[in-house]
Structure 1
Amino acid sequence: MSARPLYVALGDSLTVGVGSTLFQPNFVKLYQQALEAYCQMPIMKRVFAKNGATTVDLFSYSQQPNVREAIQHAQFITLTGGGNDFLRAGRHWLRTGDFSAVRLASQQSLFYIEQMIQRITALHSEQSAPYMIRILNLYNPLFYIPNTNEWLEDYNRHLEELEQYPFVRVADIYHAFTGNEPQLLSFDHIHPNPIGYRIMADVTASIGFDPFLPA
């Protein structure tokens, strides 16, 4: 592995770190530390994230030249997305009882995440250097509302199908949070608190760093 590998974190507010505190590291920093411990060397980091971003926002964001360039040279890539799609659809469902918005949010989120995976794969197709992509599935901040767990379990099952792509693995944040949401969510009851972010990083690191070998 070359000196100073690059980690690119692409995503929404979970990649931004909303809900963490000033003196506590967020998911990206914690996962960078896990990468450095595994590789036994410093890891450069670039973060491309926006609070409130939907998957279509992330797809558009990933087309920007500076983001494409970073992705092309990254050995390590993480992706968070889909939560805002479901939150918007869920609020619509609560107001109107119209479930079609939830179904559409699931379909669109899966479509745009797969489009991003295909784009990343294409950007790396002309390079022989290894790389890996880690997608974080969705936990349920609205766990107290009937049916919402079923929606996310179905969505997360489909998300796992993206592991058909080389070096793509899905981190199961959903089951790590299930039953412990009050202890892992921040004051806004939507985003993780520092403990929640640490669990996210630990779960993502626990699925390994294939295709990289330890130093």
Structure 2
Amino acid sequence: MVLQYTALGDSLTTGRGAGLFSPGFVHRFGNMMESDLKTKTAISIFAKSGLNTEEILGLLSFPFVQTCIKGSDMITITGCGNDLIDSVFAYQTTKDETTFSRASAHCHENFEKMIAKIAEIKGENPSPYAIRVFNLYNPFPSIDIAGKWITSFNSHLETLAAAPHVKIADAYSIFKGKEQEYLSFDGVHPNSKGYQAMAQAVHKLGYKELPVS
């Protein structure tokens, strides 16, 4: 049996910042699954640097992405980091805090739509599958309002885990206080150590939804 793993998202899913020839979290997590479940893992990645949650949701309307999702056992999603960065820049200009609450609501709504769209693609009586959504770490620890906004967004994101297939991978806690160790030279994307920590965060959630676990 080959386990099908599909990764959707932004630059975190592409592994930006990991360094030349160093994998992001996707291949690291895929290797962990192979080792734990004693089965080959086939990985499909649909992601691009700079995508916001609306654009990630849009990926699910492409027929070839839908085909992959339909056969997937494991699905991971990263998103909202670009929405966050846009909000921080907008806030620094306008000092309008509602910029954050609007972005937060928009991201959350798009994540809910992604979960619903995946369920729709899977159809009735699907074979067991798991979805892992990463929450946001804070690359701006010196900007108080960013920390406040991310904490609020992440607690709201937890409600997604009410769906039976969904668990939240906690990037926020593992990066907190370790930003210098885990972020690459751009101060925004993880480095190789950071991606290893992300892989461990999603690995820790296990695979009890999957038939091979």
Q: Deviations over 1:98-122 (max 9, x none)?
A: 2222111100000001100001112
Aligned with 1:43: secondary structure? strand
Letter in 2 for 1:133: I
Aligned with 2:40: secondary structure? coil
d(CA) in 2 for partners of 1:9 and 1:83? 16
User: How do 1:96-135 and structure 2 match up within 5 A?
Assistant: 96-135=94-133
* Residue matched to 2:168: 170
* Residue matched to 1:14: 12
> Structure 1 residue runs of 4+, over 4 Å off?
none
d(CA) in 2 for partners of 1:210 and 1:93? 41
* Residue matched to 2:209: 211
d(CA) in 1 for partners of 2:126 and 2:186? 44
Unaligned runs of 5+ in 1: none
1:213 is displaced (CA, Å) by 5.5
* Residue matched to 1:79: 77
Contact 1:140–1:149 (CA under 8 A) maintained in structure 2? yes
d(CA) in 1 for partners of 2:126 and 2:92? 49
TM-score, length-scaled by structure 2: 0.97
Aligned with 2:189: secondary structure? coil
CA RMSD of aligned residues (A): 1.1
* Residue matched to 2:46: 48
Letter in 1 for 2:24: N
Aligned with 1:6: secondary structure? strand
Identity of aligned residues (%): 36
* Residue matched to 2:195: 197
Contact 1:38–1:214 (CA under 8 A) maintained in structure 2? no
Instruction: Give the total of aligned pairs.
Output: 213
* Residue matched to 1:154: 152
**Structure 1 residues 213, 37: CA separation in 2 closer, same or farther (over 3 Å shift)?**
farther
Unaligned runs of 5+ in 2: none
* Residue matched to 2:34: 36
Letter in 2 for 1:122: E
Aligned residue among 9, 21, 24 for 2:22: 24
* Residue matched to 1:140: 138
1:214 is displaced (CA, Å) by 5.0
d(CA) in 1 for partners of 2:130 and 2:197? 20
Letter in 2 for 1:36: E
